[in-house]
Amino acid sequence: LTSDCHFGHKNIIKYEPDSRGQFDSIEEMNETIIQNWNSVVNNEDTVYVLGDFFMGHISTIEPILNRLKGKIILIRGNHDQKNRRRIFSEHGIEIKDIEYIEYKGKFFILSHFPLFNEEFAKMVNEDNGEVVVLYGHIHSNAPKGFVDGTYHVGMDTNNLTPISIEQIWQECSL
């Protein structure tokens, strides 16, 4: 799982100096994310991207998609515009607004936006944590790891690398 790759987004280097400030160019950032992605994803894996996949020029989408391993399912984010979604669909990427998956007895809600409030946290904590919200959108403003029934899967809190459901499950099960 991951979110907020922002492939091709020049200003993200400026907006996220702690996680992306080391890059001198958008090409360097894109290449690092591609390499990190492919270092943990196999061709047989399914990768859920929780929004804001590409933000650069449309012409950059296909060359990058062709290099990424795994079957991609996109949970639509606020920057995943219609013209980009059309290209994603043409490349076999399934697009959803929200998704629910079960893994080893836990139920994960996948959303681009954080679905969290005090009542939800109370319910999840009283319920022994069977439900976990996975989200993106808020970049390095998010806490790292499992916090109050939620887990930020975004690039900027996970070393610009997708994170496995197994790792998330392990942290949520402690």
DSSP tag of 141: G
Residue 149: what pLDDT? 84
pLDDT surpassing 60 at residue 128: no
Mean pLDDT of 148-160: 94
Cα Dmax for the chain: 48
pLDDT above 90: percentage of residues in the chain: 82
| pTM exceeds cut of 0.85 | yes
Say if residues 17 and 169 touch (Cβ distance below 8 Å).
no
Average pLDDT over residues 73-83: 95
CA separation for the pair 86, 60 (Å, rounded): 14
| Amino acid present at 106 | K
pLDDT at residue number 129: 62
Q: What is the mean pLDDT of residues 69-83?
A: 96
**Is there a contact between 15 and 21 (Cβ–Cβ < 8 Å)?**
no
What confidence tens digit (pLDDT) does each residue in 9-55 have? 999 999 999 999 999 999 999 999 999 999 999 999 999 999 999 99
Q: What was the pLDDT predicted at 109? A: 93
Question: Are 56 and 9 a contacting pair, CB within 8 Å?
Answer: yes
Predicted confidence (pLDDT) per residue in 10-19, tens digit: 999 999 999 9
Average pLDDT, integer, range 85-92 = 95
With a CB cutoff of 8 Å and minimum separation 6, the contacts of 85 are 74, 76, 95
Instruction: Examine the pLDDT at 123 and tell me if it is beyond 70.
Output: no
| Residue 126 reports pLDDT greater than 70 | no
What's the pLDDT at 147?
A: 87
Q: What is the average per-residue pLDDT within 115-143?
A: 78
**3-class secondary structure, 140:** helix
Q: What is the CA radius of gyration of the chain?
A: 16
pLDDT, mean of residues 114-133: 71
